[in-house]
Structure 1
Amino acid sequence: MIDRFRVGVITSSHGIKGEAKVYPTSDDQNRLKKIKKVYANIKGVETALDIETVRFQKNMALVKFKQFNTPEEIQAIRNTDLFVDRNNATPLKKNENYIADLIGLDVIDEEGILLGKVTDVFPTGANHVMEVDMGEKKVLFPYISQCILDVNLEEKKIKVHVLDGLLDL
């Protein structure tokens, strides 16, 4: 399991006081308002950044970090990912998993036959979808209870029910 989760990406500077435009990558866009510290890899050095303020403008968070005070300082760290520690991540509900923990898990069917590995999980309008690399093709499994039967992080396996027609494409 990974220890940190990405919550946003610095896209550019905003204004003259050193605010950063951050594109939120968490399911909970208000997540940035609830945390006080994020981590970033800045020029090869893992750096803790203290959040002073967060406000929103359209789909972007405008974040003021204690460590930066000019637009030029923010421009120098454009396209930098922001992470939180696992213990500061959004708490899980029953039968929920962090997407980052699912990537790379083996996917098996009800008979225990290996189908492939999880390469991505992403939201759609109704539910999340799990992309599984089956070697010669990639298949999208709906992340719903009728399809996802069991997630075992210790064994690094996800047991699925293959819905009729899912593998026919």
Structure 2
Amino acid sequence: MQDILQVGAVTSTHGLAGEVKVFPTTDDPKRFKKLKQVLLDTGKGMRELEVMQVKFFKNLVILKFRGCDKIEDVMAFKGKNLYVTREHAVKLKKNEYFIADLIGMDVCLEDGSHLGMLEEVLQTGANDVYEVRLEDGREVLIPAIRQCILEVDVEAGRMTVHLLEGLLE
């Protein structure tokens, strides 16, 4: 499990008063309202920033940070990713998982045999789809629905699935 989770990427500055536009990488951008602090990956380390104001514009989040009062203060933030520590991440409901915790999981069939490794989570709108790389290099797409995902053990890094008829063909 990762200790930090990505919540967004700074796309550009916004105005002259030190605000930035952020493309959210969370499934619910409204979660930014609850954020008090974020970590900016400067490329040379993490910089902690206190969130002072949150606004929404189209598909972007506009953030204002304490001590960043002019455009020059945030110019270097462009193209950088924003993270939160696990303790500051939103609390998940039952059967919800952070994508970062799912990537790299061993995926097994319900009979215990190894199927492959979860490589990607595709967010389709109706439900997520898990892209699993098989031992022979092929991939299978498994819908993240209760009929298919039988068990997820984040601590063990293992997922047990039931393949619907036709998924491996």
Name the Cα RMSD after superposition: 1.3
What is the identity, as a one-letter code, of the residue corresponding to 2:26? S
Aligned to 1:147: 148
Q: CA deviation at 1:43?
A: 3.4
Q: In structure 1, how many angstroms separate the alpha carbons of the residues matched to 2:29 and 2:105?
A: 27
Q: In structure 2, how many angstroms separate the alpha carbons of the residues matched to 1:124 and 1:31?
A: 20
Any stretches of 5+ residues in structure 2 without a counterpart? none
Q: In structure 1, how many angstroms separate the alpha carbons of the residues matched to 2:159 and 2:13?
A: 41
Q: In structure 1, how many angstroms separate the alpha carbons of the residues matched to 2:84 and 2:108?
A: 31
Q: In structure 2, how many angstroms separate the alpha carbons of the residues matched to 1:33 and 1:155?
A: 32
Deviations 1:40-67 (A, max 9, x none): 1213121101111111111111111113
Q: CA deviation at 1:69?
A: 2.5
Aligned to 1:62: 62
Q: In structure 2, how many angstroms separate the alpha carbons of the residues matched to 1:110 and 1:95?
A: 18
Aligned to 1:127: 127
Q: CA deviation at 1:157?
A: 1.0
Give the secondary structure class of the aligned counterpart of 1:30.
helix
Aligned to 1:31: 31
Q: In structure 2, how many angstroms separate the alpha carbons of the residues matched to 1:162 and 1:60?
A: 37
Aligned to 1:75: 75
Report the CA distance shift for 1:43/1:73 in structure 2 as closer, same or farther (over 3 A): farther
Q: In structure 1, how many angstroms separate the alpha carbons of the residues matched to 2:43 and 2:94?
A: 39
Aligned to 1:115: 115
What is the identity, as a one-letter code, of the residue corresponding to 1:150? E
Report the CA distance shift for 1:61/1:154 in structure 2 as closer, same or farther (over 3 A): closer
Q: In structure 2, how many angstroms separate the alpha carbons of the residues matched to 1:47 and 1:65?
A: 12
Give the secondary structure class of the aligned counterpart of 2:69.
coil
Q: CA deviation at 1:166?
A: 0.2
Q: In structure 1, how many angstroms separate the alpha carbons of the residues matched to 2:118 and 2:27?
A: 19
Give the secondary structure class of the aligned counterpart of 2:62.
strand
Aligned length: 168
**TM-score, normalized by length of structure 2?**
0.94
Deviations 1:121-165 (A, max 9, x none): 132121011111114222111000000011112322101001100
Q: CA deviation at 1:82?
A: 0.5
Give the secondary structure class of the aligned counterpart of 2:166.
coil
Report the CA distance shift for 1:67/1:116 in structure 2 as closer, same or farther (over 3 A): farther
Q: In structure 1, how many angstroms separate the alpha carbons of the residues matched to 2:138 and 2:79?
A: 31
Q: CA deviation at 1:108?
A: 0.6
Q: CA deviation at 1:99?
A: 1.5
Q: Does 1:158 align with 2:159?
A: yes
Q: Does 1:9 align with 2:33?
A: no
Q: CA deviation at 1:76?
A: 1.7
Q: Does 1:40 align with 2:40?
A: yes
Q: In structure 2, how many angstroms separate the alpha carbons of the residues matched to 1:54 and 1:11?
A: 15
